[in-house]
Amino acid sequence: MTGRLAMREPTFHVLAALLDGSLHGYGIIKRAHELSDGRVRLAAGTLYVALDRLRDAGLVEVDREEVVEGRARRSYRLTGAGREALRAEAERMAAAARLVLGRSGARP
């Protein structure tokens, strides 16, 4: 494993929610909740701060903006760098799980 810091679970699930295509904020909240089996419950304010941070890092980008019922709605998508960061984190998590499961006598 590298010395890279682990990705926080909400960030991991926000990126994972976008694997199948672009989603707007509520869609990301709903999909992250589903993918985490209910562990990740993102508030809208928390999500948009995270999306701004991920956008600044080049991991997500705005796919489209539209007005729905008088309100602006942005949809976001993964960038190539975001897809790679998510894959690297999944590999890091899998390696950590194999280490623990191997030492505990359980089969990975």
Domains of the chain: 9-104 (1.10.10.10)
Taking every pair of Cα atoms in the chain, the longest distance, rounded to a whole number of angstroms, is 58
What is the pLDDT averaged over residues 4-30? 92
Backbone angles phi, psi at 39, to 5 degrees: -70, -35
Average pLDDT, the chain: 90
Could you give the CA distance from residue 35 to residue 37 in angstroms, rounded to a whole number? Answer: 6
| Per-residue confidence (pLDDT) for residue 104, from 0 to 100 | 74
Report the predicted TM-score, pTM, of the whole model to 2 decimal places. Answer: 0.83
| Per-residue confidence (pLDDT) for residue 2, from 0 to 100 | 44
pLDDT tens track for 76-101: 999 999 999 999 999 999 998 888 88
